[in-house]
Amino acid sequence: MLSVPRSSCTDLPQAERLEWLEANGIGGYASGTVAGMRSRRYHGLLVAATKPPLGRAVLLSGFEEKLVIGGRIYPLSAARYENAVAPEGWKYLKEFRLDPYPIWTFSFDGIEAERRLFMPHGENTTVMSWALSEANAEARLELTPLLAFRDHHHLRHEDARFPHEYTADIGRVEFASFDGFPPLHIACNAVELEKLGVWYRDLAYTIERERGFDFTEDVFAPCVFRFGLEKPAVVIASTEEHRFEDAAMLEAAEVERRRKVVAAAKPIDETDAIIAAAADQMIVARGTGKTVIAGYHWFDDWGRDTMIALPGLAIANGRPEIAKEILLEYFNYISQGMLPNRFTSGSETPDYNTVDGTLWFFEAIRAYADAADDHDLIRGDLFLKLVNVIRWHLEGTRFGIRVEDDGLLAAGVPGENLTWMDAKIGDRVITPRMGKAVEIQALWYNALRVMEAFADRFDEARLRTRFADLAARAKASFTEKFWNADAACLYDVIDGDTCDASVRPNQIFAVSLHYPILEGERAKAVVEKVERELLTTKGLRTLAPDDPKYVGHYDGGPVERDSAYHQGTVWAWLIGHFIDAYLRVNAADPQVTAKAAAMLAGLELHLHDTMLGSLSEIFDADAPHSAKGAAAQAWSIGEFARIRRKLRS
């Protein structure tokens, strides 16, 4: 259980900043703030995945909630407008907790009320209930649904075409589809239904305003539901038809499912349990298999993010079968030797503009096969597919990705950014990194050694020798070309005769990967350089502070933020590979494990901040390293889980 006390609940700036998330395992979600108001366009009580795991649409934005007792009205909900907050239900909050789903406790005049919310796994459904601590025949609850029917990236504004009519028999109401989105079904145990048909105008979303986007929205209120509170009021909002009596069955099944997810991780403390639940939210269905939502609220599923996050999300949490499903699903999408970079809602064909996503695939496969002792998964056709991936890289594939005569992997064409540092403003690439990027060489070498080990295991002697020779050639060239003697670290990118000496975290992968391309004193020097200039309490900076291009804060509109994204901004996921490298070069230090564990303390505290029970994507480069970007990020969670587990092994 994770809880927020009254002091924070009734502190509006704090309660509006703290967020919660429910995910349904098919890409849909519900999300909001502890205070009850929506601060993002992505907040809503039912954000349905209309084309699982994508096509996400805000159908039910929220409810306006009023508790009426003895003629007195107590607001439970909250909303922010440009110049006002109304209603102010947060003032009555006694506690918020995740146990295992969001629960709010309100207190007024000796009476307590509790609101609960959860999403059942595998369907676009949100179940909510409201109950008094003691039954009261005089009490009633009024709920006014606020409808949006829009893509979750967009905002709704008053529209004369919006359907005002609905079909109802009080306990089962259908709100018609609009703009191509599915109808919304509400099943409840209301005793009265009153037609309303008004627009709530100019709701203001504070985080959208901070991010430089449009931030006001209109939502439609079609009716008011009224409930007696002699027993709990129940609402099921869904794209499917339900009866309100289904709520108890759905809750029991979901609580048991989550119990098993956490139990599989074999947690030894509260943090283990919290991170296992957070990891589960990122894993969603795709086709007949699984994939990973890169981050909530706005990211889709990305191949690179999925492969980086997979060992931590699935294997470290005792769910190797999930890792297997993800790997098998992505095998279906290999094209010209490349793994998809990104699936998008608007296209049936994924984007393939990545050089590192495919290479991380090899490491994810190795991690699964070793952890599950399931090398037979790769034997045969899948091994041959991987051999073909290597062939494409040797002969050349999309975007100039090809192995050059020195055995190193080059990539890049103007206007594209193929590495994980992929920010663009229009057609301008912020960190183009064309040529031979340092982490790409580390990943290429690691992939070749993985294939060498597979070939040896599968008695493919000719292929084993071929991969070993390719790896040796790559390592020799890397050793010759990438060492920056003046700075005692590695160059970030080599493009022809140009060597980029920017001090970035990408060099850490030369030491951290399972098969390191850099060893000995140079490896130790790299780790010391990164620790000294890039390590923070939340992860690694993406650029050293003394670089003229360094940006200390990730603020402003899209242009300002994209310009800072990889120019200093701290990324949490990098902490996992830094600790891998740190452990490797300091193995003789008897205190190395304790020192490494201390590096996770800032992120462990962050589980109780921003998106409660989860980890943010990025943080400001300058102290105090405020959380920014996506509020729940897959590879942040995955790498935290993986390295924390490793430190105990």
* Residue 263 covered by a domain: no
- Stretch 343-363: mean pLDDT, rounded? 91
Q: Are 335 and 194 within one domain?
A: no
> How many whole angstroms separate alpha carbon 99 and alpha carbon 429?
44
Strands 72-75 and 618-619: unpaired
- Each residue's pLDDT tens digit, 417-469: 999 999 999 989 999 999 999 999 999 999 999 999 999 999 999 999 999 99
The predicted pLDDT at position 92 comes to 97
- Whether 72 shows a pLDDT value over 80: the answer reads yes
- Stretch 57-76: mean pLDDT, rounded? 96
Specify the residue for token string 């956490």.
262
* Residue 637 covered by a domain: yes
3-class SS of residue 553: coil
Q: Are 397 and 336 in contact (CB under 8 A)?
A: yes
3-class SS of residue 89: helix
- Whether 346 shows a pLDDT value over 80: the answer reads no
Chain centroid to CA 518: 31
Burial state string for 70-101 with b = 16 or more CB within 10 A and e = fewer than 16: eeeebbbbbbbeeeebebbbbbbbbbbbbebb
- Whether 70 shows a pLDDT value over 90: the answer reads no
Q: Which of 19, 24, 32 is nearest to 50 (CA)?
A: 24
- Each residue's pLDDT tens digit, 532-562: 999 999 999 999 999 999 999 999 999 999 9
* Residue 262 covered by a domain: no
Q: Are 87 and 53 in contact (CB under 8 A)?
A: no
Query: Into how many domains does the chain fold?
Result: 2
> How many whole angstroms separate alpha carbon 327 and alpha carbon 286?
12
Query: Residue 562: how many CB atoms within 10 A of its CB?
Result: 18
Helix (H) or strand (E) holding 363: helix 356-372
* Residue 544 covered by a domain: yes
* Residue 343 covered by a domain: yes
With a pLDDT cut of 70, the percent of the chain lying above it is: 100
Q: Are 304 and 237 within one domain?
A: no
Specify the residue for token string 């283990």.
272
80-83 own/partner pairs: CB under 8 Å, 24+ apart: 80/16, 80/37, 80/38, 80/39, 80/203, 80/204, 80/205, 80/206, 81/202, 81/203, 81/204, 82/202, 82/204, 82/216
The predicted pLDDT at position 250 comes to 98
Specify the residue for token string 């993985």.
450
The predicted pLDDT at position 347 comes to 74
Q: Is the peptide bond before 624 cis (omega within 30 degrees of 0)?
A: yes
> How many whole angstroms separate alpha carbon 6 and alpha carbon 513?
45
Q: Are 344 and 53 in contact (CB under 8 A)?
A: no
∠ Cα 630 631 637 (to 5°): 95
Confidence of residue 136 (pLDDT cuts 50, 70, 90): confident
Dihedral over Cα of 5, 6, 7, 11: its sign = positive
Tokens of 23: 């995910």
Q: Are 36 and 154 within one domain?
A: yes
Q: Are 288 and 151 within one domain?
A: no
Q: What is the DSSP letter of 206?
A: H
Q: Which of 421, 410, 543, 416 is nearest to 481 (CA)?
A: 410
Helix (H) or strand (E) holding 358: helix 356-372
Q: What is the DSSP letter of 342?
A: B
Domain boundary residue among 256, 287, 311?
256
The predicted pLDDT at position 130 comes to 98
Q: Are 189 and 330 within one domain?
A: no
Q: Tell me the average pLDDT of the chain.
A: 97
The predicted pLDDT at position 349 comes to 87
Q: Are 250 and 289 within one domain?
A: no
Domain boundary residue among 256, 284, 317?
256
Tokens of 305: 């993010």
The predicted pLDDT at position 538 comes to 98
Confidence of residue 1 (pLDDT cuts 50, 70, 90): confident
Q: Are 98 and 234 within one domain?
A: yes
Q: Is the peptide bond before 350 cis (omega within 30 degrees of 0)?
A: no
Confidence of residue 353 (pLDDT cuts 50, 70, 90): very high
> How many whole angstroms separate alpha carbon 431 and alpha carbon 566?
7
- Each residue's pLDDT tens digit, 234-255: 999 999 999 999 999 999 999 9
Confidence of residue 348 (pLDDT cuts 50, 70, 90): confident
Q: Are 111 and 197 in contact (CB under 8 A)?
A: no
- Whether 189 shows a pLDDT value over 80: the answer reads yes
Q: Map 497-509 to HEC letters.
A: CEEECCCCHHHHH
Return the CATH number at 507.
Answer: 1.50.10.10
- Whether 649 shows a pLDDT value over 90: the answer reads no
Return the CATH number at 135.
Answer: 2.70.98
Confidence of residue 170 (pLDDT cuts 50, 70, 90): confident
Our CA dihedral for 552, 558, 562, 564, rounded to 10 degrees, sits at -10
The length of the chain is 649
Q: Are 537 and 575 within one domain?
A: yes
Q: What is the DSSP letter of 399?
A: G
- Stretch 478-490: mean pLDDT, rounded? 98
- Whether 30 shows a pLDDT value over 90: the answer reads yes
- Whether 345 shows a pLDDT value over 80: the answer reads no
Q: Are 243 and 273 within one domain?
A: no
Q: Are 128 and 135 in contact (CB under 8 A)?
A: no
- Whether 156 shows a pLDDT value over 90: the answer reads yes
Specify the residue for token string 């495919």.
358
Q: Are 199 and 329 within one domain?
A: no
Q: Which residues is 425 bridged to in the sheet? A: 428
* Residue 525 covered by a domain: yes
Q: Are 314 and 412 within one domain?
A: yes
The predicted pLDDT at position 10 comes to 97
* Residue 264 covered by a domain: no
- Stretch 574-598: mean pLDDT, rounded? 98
Q: Are 241 and 282 within one domain?
A: no
* Residue 261 covered by a domain: no
Domain enclosing residue 21, as ranges: 2-256
Domain boundary residue among 224, 256, 288?
256
Tokens of 281: 């939210």
